[in-house]
Chains A and B, each alone.
Chain A
Amino acid sequence: MLLEIRGISVRIKDRIIVDDVSFEVGDHDIYMVIGPNGAGKTTLFKAIMGLVPRKGKVLLDGTDIRTFRPGELAKKIGMLAQSHQPQFAYSVYDVVSLVRYSYQGGIFRKLTGQDKQKIEEALALTGMESMKDQSVLTLSGGELQRAFLAQLFAQDPQVLILDEPVSHLDLQYQIAVFDILSRWVREKRRAVIASVHDLNTVYTYGTRAMLINRGRVHAEGTVEEVLDKDNLKSVYNVDVAEWMKNLLEHWK
């Protein structure tokens, strides 16, 4: 297994936000984490990254990721935060190139040819080439998300953890992002973990999934298993299949 999450729990004061969550992510997986607002998806991701105090273990290729130094970890796991609020007028290129930090040695940490190539590729992949000199303060929510997505691709890690990567994006870019991700993940020793609200996206792109509710794993397995009618009904309190079928009527 590429990534093993074992018994992750997060407690903030007296509240248990994430309760004993375990799952495994293999090569080429696009692992979808779904669940209602406040289910603990973001906290789970932060806990995996070690950003909040947690119990449990995260193993990458069998090695506890706590043993990695921050720079090493950045080459292996990258995370996209749910939202970004930049305060300073960095250009898109500055933001993307910053991510090569962990690859650069020496005091002056100059960008090498390889760094520049990775940055250009990432900008091209996310369609941010033409905006690379623009200040991030002038970008729309979707453009900003793409800029940070470009940063993530330039970081070139093995595992991408994406907290609602498409929530700010219009339909065209939602599709484009997951198309890119499914191509990206085809290479050896790569995997994606993403939280998504749109269940159609989960069906279309997900290889495995987890349904999380109130911090606990409600269902885990293949996408079909997880998106089971009863599972969804008990968590969302909506007959999702019925609702989707009704929606489909509009498109006939």
Chain B
Amino acid sequence: MTRFGGHMDKSGTAGKLKKRTKTFLLAVFSILLFLLVFNSSVLIGSIGFSPDYTIRIILKHFFGAGDISDIPDSAATIILNVRMPRVILSAMVGAALSLAGAAMQGLLKNPLADGSTLGISSGGALGAVISIVLGINIPLFPQAGLAIMSILASFLSLMFILALTYKIDYNLSNHTIILTGVIFSMLAGSITSLLVSLSGNNLRQVVFWSMGSFSGKGWSHVALMLPFFLAGSLPLTFLSRELNAFSLGEEQAGFIGVDIKKVKFAILILVSVLVGASVAVGGTIGFVGLVIPHITRFITGPDHRKLLPFSVLFGSSFLMAADLLSRTVLSPAEIPIGVVTSLVGGILFIYIFYSKMNVRR
């Protein structure tokens, strides 16, 4: 009997302990980062506030604790009704887009997959604009109609792009699927712009659907996003092991007993819900779903059981910070948030991609 050479590694337990400590410290760090960015985003703006305002107003308003009589009413109003919903919304959208990106990358075993590179966001935006132009509404929930149309369009776009790619290239290789996504994205984007222009809306609207913005968003948008965010993100985190299996290839996932069709369908729907709802409230914001999972994977490794939760934390912090930049850099004017994410994200992505290529060589 031949047996391969190799020596036992006895450091297993110690190694695991170290790994756990590392994960724990990383969790503490990313939560602190989230809180820091959240607080800064609420306080910094055209009018700045003292750092203790956020927590005191939250305590007073939501829990009835403490005293905020020394805080001017105008400040409390701005923080509570203007800044906070906007910051929370951007955090949710950042988390949703990052989760969706991480899930698509795992599912398709393709590190370049993302809502924007696959054209899902543009499809979703087209759906939303169609619903506005045609006046499609759900009685009692006028905003929900927009979100649902956007989700539906996202899902249909995703199915269309995947079906088309399968036809051209059965293996769904990196380049084919991205190319299909980019072409679809351009097509959907131009139809969106055309519809917006024809309907007599102004340029601002076109910019919103192509570059995204959280300008003027309030609690109603938070309320709209929240159920879709929860419905999309919670089930996804329970599919981490399946995503790990898909990351080794769809066939491989089948070999080890994953119900490929069912799981794939579920993930595609969840991703559509996350991207579609994000587009409905924030427009198309590119690169978040591409860059955040990349950075997170770099730190946590590719295991989706860690990758997904940390992508949520980093993604939300990233988009809150991007939104902060978008409204402060050229204040009082606002830059579309998609410009900020694409600038930061694009440069970061080129760097990561380039260094990765160098390592491989």
A121 to chain B, nearest CB (A): 12
**Chain B, 226-264, CB within 8 A of any chain A CB:** 238, 241, 244-245, 247-249, 251-252, 254-260
With A and B bound together, what is the CA distance between A81 and B241 in angstroms?
20
Q: Which of A86, A127, A173, A179 contacts B248 (CB 8 A)?
A: A86
Q: A90-B303, A98-B244, A179-B2 are in contact. Are A130 and B254 (CB under 8 A)?
A: no
With A and B bound together, what is the CA distance between A86 and B106 in angstroms?
11
B245 and A70 within 8 A (CB): no
CB nearest neighbor in A for B360:
A137
**Chain B, 21-77, CB within 8 A of any chain A CB:** none
With A and B bound together, what is the CA distance between A242 and B106 in angstroms?
51
- The answer to whether A251 has its CB under 8 Å from any CB of chain B is no
> CB-CB < 8 A to A98: which residues of B?
241, 244-245, 248, 256
> CB-CB < 8 A to B139: which residues of A?
none
Scoring A residues 65 to 103 as 1 if CB is less than 8 Å from chain B, else 0, what string do you get? 000011111110011010011111111001100110110
A51 and B254 within 8 A (CB): yes
Q: A78-B255, A109-B241 are in contact. Are A87 and B247 (CB under 8 A)?
A: yes
Interface hub of B4, B6, B301 (most chain A Cβ within 10 A): B4
B256 and A99 within 8 A (CB): yes
B3 and A127 within 8 A (CB): yes
Q: A70-B257, A74-B257, A129-B7 are in contact. Are A179 and B1 (CB under 8 A)?
A: yes
A90 and B247 within 8 A (CB): yes
A129 and B8 within 8 A (CB): yes
With A and B bound together, what is the CA distance between A46 and B241 in angstroms?
24
With A and B bound together, what is the CA distance between A59 and B36 in angstroms?
61
> CB-CB < 8 A to B258: which residues of A?
70, 101
Q: A130-B6, A179-B1 are in contact. Are A81 and B256 (CB under 8 A)?
A: no
With A and B bound together, what is the CA distance between A24 and B322 in angstroms?
63
Number of interface residues of B (CB under 8 A): 35
A83 to chain B, nearest CB (A): 10
Q: Which of B3, B109, B255 contacts A49 (CB 8 A)?
A: B255
- The answer to whether A176 has its CB under 8 Å from any CB of chain B is yes
Q: A99-B256, A109-B241 are in contact. Are A130 and B7 (CB under 8 A)?
A: yes
Q: A70-B258, A71-B257 are in contact. Are A88 and B2 (CB under 8 A)?
A: no
A87 and B111 within 8 A (CB): yes
CB nearest neighbor in A for B262:
A70
- The answer to whether A124 has its CB under 8 Å from any CB of chain B is yes
A183 and B302 within 8 A (CB): no
Q: Which of A73, A85, A130 contacts B257 (CB 8 A)?
A: A73
- The answer to whether A125 has its CB under 8 Å from any CB of chain B is yes
B256 and A176 within 8 A (CB): no
Tell me the dominant secondary structure on chain B's binding face.
loop
B302 and A90 within 8 A (CB): yes
B263 to chain A, nearest CB (A): 9
A79 and B257 within 8 A (CB): no
With A and B bound together, what is the CA distance between A151 and B244 in angstroms?
14
- The answer to whether A155 has its CB under 8 Å from any CB of chain B is yes
A110 to chain B, nearest CB (A): 10
**Chain A, 217-252, CB within 8 A of any chain B CB:** none
- The answer to whether A132 has its CB under 8 Å from any CB of chain B is yes
A70 and B249 within 8 A (CB): no
B254 and A70 within 8 A (CB): yes
> CB-CB < 8 A to B15: which residues of A?
133
> CB-CB < 8 A to B257: which residues of A?
70-75, 101-102
B101 to chain A, nearest CB (A): 14
- The answer to whether A166 has its CB under 8 Å from any CB of chain B is no
> CB-CB < 8 A to A84: which residues of B?
248-249, 252
A126 and B4 within 8 A (CB): yes
A127 and B251 within 8 A (CB): no
Q: A87-B247, A98-B241 are in contact. Are A176 and B4 (CB under 8 A)?
A: yes
With A and B bound together, what is the CA distance between A173 and B260 in angstroms?
32
> CB-CB < 8 A to A90: which residues of B?
244, 247-248, 301-303
- The answer to whether A199 has its CB under 8 Å from any CB of chain B is no
A176 and B7 within 8 A (CB): no
**Would you give 19 A-B contacts (Cβ < 8 Å), ordered by A?**
A51-B251, A51-B254, A70-B260, A81-B251, A84-B252, A87-B111, A88-B111, A89-B297, A98-B241, A98-B245, A99-B256, A102-B257, A125-B4, A127-B5, A127-B6, A130-B9, A155-B255, A176-B4, A183-B1
Given A127-B4, A127-B5, A155-B255, output 13 extra A-B contacts at Cβ < 8 Å: A49-B255, A75-B257, A89-B302, A90-B247, A94-B303, A98-B248, A101-B258, A125-B3, A125-B4, A127-B3, A129-B6, A155-B256, A179-B2
